[in-house]
Structure 1
Amino acid sequence: MPGKSVNTKTEQRVRDLEKRVRGLKRELAGREPELESLTHQVQLAYAILDNVPSFATVKDSEGRYLLVNKEAQRIIGKSSAEIIGRTPFELYSEAIARKIHEDDLTVLRKGVTLTTEENLPDEAGRQYFTTKVPLFDEAGKTKGLIGLAVDISELKRAQEMLARREAHLSAIFNNAAAGMAVGTPEGKHIRVNSRMLTMFGYEDEGEFLKLSILDLSHPDFRKEYSGVLERLSNREINFYKTEKVFLRRDGGTFWGEIYLSPIPVSPDEEELFLTMIVDIGERKRAEKALRESEERFRKLAEMLPESILETDIGGRITFANRSAINQLGFTRQELANGLKITDFFASEDVEAATRNITDIMRGENVGLKQFTIRRVDGSTFPALVHATAILERDIPVGLRGFFIDITERFQLEEERRRSSNLEAVGLLAGGIAHDFNNILASIVGYVNMAQIAGEKGEELNSFLDSAESVAMRAKNLTQQLLTFAKGGVPVKAVVSLPQLIGNSAGISLIGSNVRGEFNIDDDLWPAEIDEGQISQVLNNLIINAKQAMPDGGVIRIAAKNLIVKKSSALLPLKKGRYLKISVEDSGTGIPKEQRNKIFEPYFTTKTEGSGLGLTTSYSIIRKHDGFIDVESEPGQGATFHLYLPAAVDKSVPPPEEIEEKTYASGRVLLMDDERDLVKAITGILEFFGSDVEHARDGREALAKYKSGIRSGRPFDVVVMDLTIPGGMGGRETIGKLLEIDPQAKVIVSSGYSEDAVMADYRDYGFSYAITKPYGYKELMEAISMVLLGRG
C-alpha cells in the first residue's frame, strides 16, 4: 500500500538522522577542548575589537556586515543585531553608501589593501582615515574584507590651520614692503621675496639665491658684518640691526637698514635666519637735507642780534644762540649741564612767566610780553619776549622763542618823557603863577577893602568872607596840583556810586540848559573810593560835557558792573570786577590829533578853566587802580569811560544821623613852625574857649607834654604839623608821644595830602587828620570829634 511505504521511508530517514546525530555528538565530544579554545579566541577577538577606539567591521563578498565593534555601532547609530547582514545602502545615505561600496568592490575584485579618507554618518560629520584589507579563502579567492577607520578630524583641522597659517606667512613674506630672505648660518639664502629681488635689481630668483649677504654688501661695510651670524647662533645677541650701503645688480648702491634675527626651529632642524632690508635712501636724503637746513638756520640764528632759545617740555634750555649766551652770561658747558628757562626771569616775574609758558603749551597765542630778565650775575634788564610751542604730531614737546633787550628803548622813552615833563612843567609853572597871582590879588584886594571899611567904621565881615572864599580856591588849586604831581593818596571808604553820581551831576548842571539822563544798573556793586576825589573827577567830566554843548542838550551818564577776564592793550586792567561809568555828550567832539593831549596839564581848547581838570582826573583814577579812556569823533560828541575796582565783598555803611554841631574846648598843645599860622590858630582856639600852648617842633612838644602831666595840667588834645623843616615833625613825634601817654589824642595836619600818613593816619597812631589850609569850622569840628570820642 502506498501509505505504508511512505511511513516506512520516513521512519528510516529518522533512524538515519538519529544515527548521524549520535555520530556528531561523539565527534563533538572528542573536539570539545578545541571548541572551547576557539570560543575563547573569538570572545577575545570580540573584546579586543570592542575596546579599540577605531571603527572596525568585517564584511562578506557581497558587502554585507558580518561583524561590527562597539565604536562602529556608535558611529552608525544602530545595534549589532540591526547592522549584521545588511549592506551600506541599507544604513547610510546614498552618497556615503556608494563611496563605501565602490571602495569595497576595489578590494574584493583586486584583492588589494585600500586606504582612503571618508565621512561616516556620525552626528558631528567627522572625517576618518580608512584601511580596507581583503580576506581570502583556502583557494586564494576573496571571500570578504576587514575595515578599520581612524578619526582624523582634529588632525585635518590642525593641518588646515597650519596650511592657512603657512599661506598667511607666505603672503606676508611675499608682499612685505621690506625685502625679506631666509638664510643659513653660512649666509646662503634659500628663500627670498619679490621686494628683495626688486630692491637689488634681480629678476631671476635662482641668481639671487647664489649670493650671500656679504656679496650684497658694499666692500666698505662688509667687515662689520663679520661674526654676526655666529653671535646670533650662540645667542650672544637676540638680533642685529644697522644701516649700511648695499650693491645692486647693475653696480649701483643704496642705503638700507638691515635687521637679522634667528628663526625659531626644533632642535633637530637646521638653524635658519631671517633677513629684512628696508631701502632708506629717501630718508637719508631727507635727513641730509634736514641737517643742512638746520645748519643754515643755526648759522642764521647765531648771526641774529635777537636772543633765541629752545627748551624741552620740562623747561630745560636745549639751544641758545650766541646772542642769548652773551646776554644772559652763561657758558655752553653750563648750558650742557642743564639750565631752566625760568631761572632767567626776575623773581617778581617768575609766576607770570610760568603762567605764560603754560598758556603757550595749551596752544594759546599770547603775543609779545614784557618781562624783566635776570642774568647769571644777578643784574637785570627789560625785554620783550615772544615764544611758541614746538610740536611733534600736534603734541607740544618744548618751547621756541626769542627776547629783545629794550633797555635802550626804555632810556629813549625816559628821555622823551623827561622832555615832555619839562614842557609840562613849563606849562604848569606858567599856569600856577597865573592862577595864584589872581588868587593873591583877590585876597589882597578884599583885605584892603576891609581895611578901608574899618577906617570908615563900616561892616568888615562881607570882605573877610570873600577873602576866605578866595583862599579856599587856592586850597583847591593846591590839591589839584598835588594830585597831578604825585596822585594824592586816596582816603578810601565804601561808597554807593548811584548817589555820588546823582549828587555830582546835580551840582554841576544846576542853572544850565543841559539836563542829565541816567542809566544805572539796579544791582551796581559798591566801590571803595575817595568820595571827594571821585566826585571831583565826575564834576570835571560833567562840566566839560556841559561846556561842549553851549546851546544845551543831554548828558547821558551810565554805570554798570564789568568783569575783566584778561588785561589787554585797550583795557590795561588787572583781572577782576570793576564798575564802568560813562559820561557822554553830543558836542563838537575831540579831533584825533588832540586826543593824546587831553590828559596833559594845562592843555585846553576852552576859553575858561585852568586845563588841570582832565589831568587831575587821570591821576586820581590811576591812584584808584582804575583806568580812564575817551571815545570821540569830530562832530559826534565825546564819551569818557571810567573804570574803578568794585568792593564786591563790602557794603555801604548806613548814613550817620545828623546832629547839631557843638564845638568842644580843652587844653590844646599846638605844634607848628609857621609863626603867622600859630598866631591865627591860637586866636581861633582861645575864642572858642580852649587853653593853648605852642611848640615849634617835636622835641619841644614832648617836653611840654611831659611837663603838663607832671604839673597836673595835662593836654586834652595835640594838633601837630606832619612836617617841620629842620626839626622833628609829626611823623617822628607820634611814636614817642604815645610811649609817654598811650591814650594821647593827636590830630595831624599837613598841606601835603599825598603823604600816606594823611590817608592812613590811624595806622600811625593819630586820632584824626585835617588838610591845610583849613577854616575855623573844619578845625573846631576836628577837635570836637576827638575830644568827644568820635574821631
Structure 2
Amino acid sequence: MSAVEKKATVLIVDDSALIRASTSHIIRELGFNPVTAECGDDCIELLNTSKIDLVLLDINMPGKNGMEVLSDIRNHHFMVPVIMISGSNDIEQAVQSVKMGAYQYLIKPVNPDKLEVTVKNALSESKLRQKVKLFSAVITRSPITIAITDNHGDLEYVNPAFSRTTGYSYKEAIGKNPRILKSGDQPDEYYKALWDTITAGKVWHGEFHNRKKNGEMYWEEAIISPITDHTGKISHYISLKQDISQRKKEQEALAESESRFQELADLLPQPVFELDMKGNIIYTNSLGFQAFGYTKDDLEKGVSSLALFVPEDRETVLQNIENRLKNIPFENHEYTALRKDGTTFPILIYTARINRGGVPVGIRGIVLDITDRKQAEENLVQLNQNLELRVEERTRELEVTHQQMILQEKLASIGQLAAGIAHELNNPINFVRINFATLQEDVSDLHTLLKEYRLVTEKLEDRPLSSEELKKLRLAEESLAVDSLLESIPEIFAESQRGFERITTIIGSMRNFSFRHAIDERVQFNINKGICDTLIIARNEYRYLADVTTKLEDLPSVPCNPEQVNQVFLNLVVNSAHAIESQHRLEKGKITIRTWYDSSNVFCSVTDDGPGIPPEVRRRIFEPFFTTKQPGKGTGLGLSISYDIVVHKHGGTLDVHCPPEGGTVITLSLPLRQMTETTNP
C-alpha cells in the first residue's frame, strides 16, 4: 500500500451507528483514516470543510437520500470517488447510480474483502485522474506550441500557445488541417518528406515558414512524432513547435555583415562559433566558452571541433561538416556535446558556410542547449505511455462491465419471462393432473366391478348362478358405464402423453436457451433452431397480443455464440409484442419472422404491424439506456446489447426500417465465415 493511500480519508455515511462503527473498523484495519456522518447534510458539510478522498454512501437515509447526496457531490466535488451501498439489489437503482457517476454499487452486508478491493481500486483511479489533470495543466500552460492531430492530419487538440502564436482560437483550429498555416514558400516535396517520415513511425524535425491568421509570416521549429495505439498502429501525431522567427532574423543579420558579427554574437542567448576548413574552432562567443568550459587561452592553443562531441557522434559531425562545405543539405542537427570537464548535454546546432569571394573558407554556427526540451520530450513520452496503459486498463474494465451488463440484461429478460414460462408449463401439467384424477376414479370403478365378478365366480363353483344374481351383475356394469370407461382410457393416456411432450419441448427449449458457452467461443449453429426455442420461451409474452408467423428457409450453420444470438431474437420478439401492446387494440397484431441466406451471410427479419418508430427515436434506439417504455418495463439495454452482439462481436449487421404503411422491420445478418479479428466499439 502506498503512502498516499495510507493517508487517505474515507467518509462513511450511514444512518445506522452499528454499520458506521463496523465499517470504520474495516477501513481503519486497511490503513485508512475513517470519518463518519449519519445523514446526507452532515456528509455535504464534511466535504465542504475537510479533505475527503473517498465516500462510502448509504442510499436509504432520512432527510437527503444517497442519490441526492451523490448528485450534490458530482456537481461540487467531482474528483471525489463515491461507492454506493444499499440493502437492495435493485438493478435499476444500481444502473442509475453508475449513470450519475458512482464508482461502484455494493449490496449490504458488504463483504470486507470486496470492500477492500473496491476502496483500493477507487483510490488508485482517483490518484490517476489527479495526475492526468496535472499533466493536462502542464500542457495547457506550456510556452511551446503543442498540437495533436488524428492519423489523417486533422487537428484534435491545440494548447493556448498555439493560439497565441498563430492567431487561431481553439474552436477555429479544431477539425482543421495544419495546412491553414501554410505560406506557400516551401515546396510540396518538403511536406511529402515530412509525411513519409512520420507515417513510417519516425520522428520528424524541421522548420516551417508559416502564415498567421492575420497574414503575418513567421518561422517555427517543429518536432512531429507519431503516437501508436495498443495494436502498434499510428492513431495520432503530436507536434512541438517554437516560434524561431527572431532567431532567423538574427542569423540573417549575421550573414549580412561580418563586421557586425562579433557585437551581435555576444548578444545572442546561445553559443555561436566559426570553424576553419580543417574543422578547428577559430571563434566562439562568451556563451560558447561558458557552455563548453574552455577558455580563450585554450582557443588560442587550438581546439578541434570534434573535441566538443562524444566519440560516437564524431563521425556524423565530420560528415555534416563536409556536407555543409559542399552545400549538401542534411537534416541531422542534434548531437551530444562534451564539455572540457567530461560532462555531456544534448545540443542542436545550426550551421552555415562562410564564403569569401564565392569560395568557402569555413563554417559558422549556433548551438542550442536542448536539455530542457529533451526532458520535456521524455516526460511527454512517459505521459503518453502512462495514458496508453491507463486507456488499455480502462478498456479492459469497460469490457468486463459490458459483459456484466449483457448478463444482467439476459437475467432481466429471463425474469420477465419466468411467469409466462411457468404458465406454459402449468397448462399441460394441469390437464395431466386432471387426467390422472379421472383415471383414478375409473380404476376404482373397475376394481369395484372386478370384486363383483369374483363373487359371482366363487358362487359358480358351488352352484349355478341365479337370474337375480346375473341381473345384479348387469346392473353394476350399466351403473359404472364400463363400455364408455374402457373407450375413454386410451384417449386419456394419449392426451396425457401430449401433455408430457409439451412439457419436454418447453424444458428442452429452456435448456437450449440457458446453455452457456464462453463469451468469445464460436460454434456452428442453425439460427432457425434458436428462433424456434425463443418462440417457445417467449410464447406467453406474445400469445395474447399477436399471431406469430414463421417463414424459415433451410439454412446453413453459422459460427456464432448461440446464447448471445438467442438473446437478440428474444429482445426483438418481445419488443415487437410490446410495440403492439402499446396500441391497446382489440384485435391481435401480427409478427412475421423470416430467414434466408446468400453466399456470404444468413439473414433474419422480424416484422410487426405495430405503431412503427418515429425518425427522431429511430436514430437513438441502439444507444445504451435509451428507452421509450414506461418505468419498470425495460432497462434500455436490449437493443444496444443486441447491436453489440450482432455487429461488434459477430461482424454482422442490424438495421431498422419503418415502411410507409406502418409497422417495423428489423433485419440482422450474420457472416457464414468467422471473423479473423473482433472489432471493439
When the two structures are superposed, what TM-score results if normalisation uses the length of structure 1?
A: 0.24
More helix by share: 2
Greater CA radius of gyration, 1 or 2?
A: 1
